[in-house]
Chains A and B, each alone.
Chain A
Amino acid sequence: MNLTNNDIKDMTQSIKDGDIYNTVYNCRCCGSCVSTWPSGHRCSLSTLAQGVQINCRGLNGVIKNIKEGKIDFSSELADYVFRCVSCHVCVENCSEFVNPVDYIHDIRMQLVERGLVPDSIMEVFKSIDQNGNVWGEKEDKRVDWTTGLNVPLANEGAEFDYLLFVGDSSAYVPRNQKTAQLFVQILNKLGIRFAILGNEERSSGNEALKMGEAGLFEDLATTNMESFAKYKVKKIIALSPHGYDALKNEYPKLDQNFDIEVLHYTEFLAKLIEEGVLTFTKAVNETVTYHDPCYLGRHNQIYDQPRAILAAIPGLNLVEMDHNKAYSICCGGGGGGIWMQRGEGVVVEQLRYKEALETGVETLVIACPICMQMFEGENENNKTNPIEIKDIIELVFEAL
């Protein structure tokens, strides 16, 4: 990109105006957002939009054209920007502090206000609006996963230290329900006083917000925060990194008095191990690899706690993938990616799944229900040579 004097003038003006798009002019076209160390992984935008060379680098050109009024808001633009899975690889790799994910979020919000939303995403918005969850399930089925278990409800007067924020995927998706069921059994074994909101819990709003439906996010967050206030919640354990990110980083922006301590379950368990409260009695003789969920890793810098839990489990051997921690490849499910249709060819989740297979380990370990669904989906397509996928919770339960 050759900057003209006018561009530089414009950039200076943008910085003065506090325009979020100002950093677009910092792009030096180095391509590190598209292809990351150590091997040439391309960004999710380029892998999800098959056959078209669009990616974070190309996006900077698109942003510039939108800013200058050369590109209109249209359903074609929506089909493009809704392919970003907000994995933050581009942000992490940019030496010039360009943040395409912020641009994408802003463009998505403007598209949503204009009603220009891909059909599959519109269905999710409607489901959240009508049912309070992203999966189109009825509100009153939110606690079905607790049947037969001792799971105290906040609205039944349970006294608790921690509110367990279950999240839509753990409450409704059968594979993730199993993990949630094991987690509450772990809490009960350790004598932790906890409760859930039950049918009063609403979607955390992370997906709504990241897909640009800021108004819907505000509604959900307000309802959840009213429940937190009603039950005098002081500490929250979130099962999903997506819910965790919303509660920890987005809710305080809506309410400056929001002073609840929010922990992802990996932070919580790692702390218990460190304090000697959580100890393991059984060996789990498995060789595993760990996938860093984007909303835990790059979005919140939680890389060490999940590994500390794995290291504490006797017999467990961790083999890292080439791309790990800040350079981890996304599962393809974040930022609404789980609902976007895929084109032909290799997409981002397949790249990651292949990398896990190439380590030759028995088990792919995750710490996010969306990652679980994405990789189980890959297993469905690979019935001859599938890899076992486990949540950290399942390994902890086995070792107790």
Chain B
Amino acid sequence: MNILICVKQVPDTTEIKVDPVTNTLMRAGVPSIVNPFDACALETAARIKDETPDTKIVIVSMGPEQAKVALTECLAVGADRAYLISGRGFGGSDTLATSYILSCAVRKLEELEGKFDIIFCGKQAIDGDTAQVGPELAEHLGLAQVTCALEAKTNGNTVQVRRKTERGSEILGVEMPCLITMTKTAYEPRYASSRKKREVAKQEIPTLDENSFEIDLTRAGLKGSPTKVKKTFTIPQNSTGVIFHEATERQSTISLFELLVKGNILQLGVRYGNE
């Protein structure tokens, strides 16, 4: 089995602040991490590898040179090979241009590593939150896709995917090759030990640029990006909220209920009884 995982290095949003004047993200001094949904994808692939040990896991990331740190982390968790897609012509790409570049890179990677049976992506990156790159990549490559997967297991030539829905989850079977975007899984990504990190730090990570594979550069970078960002801003917080700390959870619930009724947000009815 041959698995490709697309990962993105993102700022740790639990540490990030927004500049109140320019409304842009203040990235200085903020640690970078592997996008958490991509880490879930890697763990899902690693679990498939646990079951089928001859599985090869290849990681690809598009970004600046420093994204190699994220790729090294993935190697420490159990990936076999990693590639960085980086080039001047790729700067400023929106989701459409990014997915196009990735699709061109995937074709090149298939020449180097063999056909991929499954391509995993995180459902979205926590810095942009668009959730567009995975599905667009599937379209560029003409692959069947399943989004928002909670788990994925292989069974012969198919992948059994449990995907999140608005009301719970559903199980789908999809034939390989396919593309699956992963949401937060019930299981945590596995730990990368310090010794493993030291070991993989020596592993070479090749960089592919615009000259490494066939690509129409008019569809990449700023030129190839129809998205224009007019303004970014933070939504002002109008209220600090109310937290109920009553003696019991039941009393807290009753207090919350009373407040909601008082504010005409809820109306007392037969179903709720007299409390």
Contacts and interface: CB of A to CB of B under 8 A. Distances in A.
Interface of A: 112-117, 119, 122, 125, 129-130, 213-216, 218-219
Given A122-B188, A130-B31, A115 B194 contact: no
Contact of A129 (B78, B188, B194, B196): B194
Interface in B172-217: 188, 190-198
B198 A115 contact: no
Contacts of B197: 215
A133 to B, nearest CB: 16
Contacts, number: 37
A214 B197 CA distance: 12
B195 A125 contact: no
A241 B131 CA distance: 50
A112 to B, nearest CB: 5
A119 B193 CA distance: 14
Interface string B39-70: 00000001000000000000000000000000
| Residue of B77, B192, B194, B198 most packed against chain A (CB within 10 A) | B194
Nearest to B187: A75
B195 A214 contact: yes
A215 B190 contact: no
B198 A125 contact: no
A122 B194 CA distance: 12
Interface of B: 31, 46, 77-78, 188, 190-198
Given A215-B197, A215-B198, A125 B191 contact: yes
Contacts of A115: 46, 77-78, 190-193
Contacts of B195: 113, 214-215
Contact of A117 (B31, B46, B191, B198): B191
A218 B194 contact: yes
Contacts of A129: 194
A119 B188 contact: yes
A213 B196 contact: no
B197 to A, nearest CB: 7
B192 A216 contact: no
Q: Which 5 pairs between the two chains have the least Cβ-Cβ distance?
A: A215-B194, A115-B190, A215-B195, A216-B194, A117-B191
A130 B32 CA distance: 12
Contacts of A112: 191, 193
B63 to A, nearest CB: 21
A33 to B, nearest CB: 29
B137 to A, nearest CB: 27
A274 B46 CA distance: 60
Nearest to A74: B50
A369 B191 CA distance: 28
Contacts of B77: 115
Contacts of B31: 130
16 contacts: A112-B191, A112-B193, A113-B195, A114-B190, A115-B78, A115-B190, A115-B193, A116-B190, A116-B191, A122-B191, A125-B191, A130-B31, A213-B194, A214-B195, A215-B193, A215-B195
A219 B191 contact: no
A119 B197 CA distance: 19
B190 A113 contact: no
B247 to A, nearest CB: 14
A116 B192 CA distance: 9
Contacts of A130: 31
A113 B190 CA distance: 10
A105 to B, nearest CB: 14
A87 B235 CA distance: 53
B237 to A, nearest CB: 25
A116 B191 CA distance: 7
A239 to B, nearest CB: 25
A113 B193 contact: yes
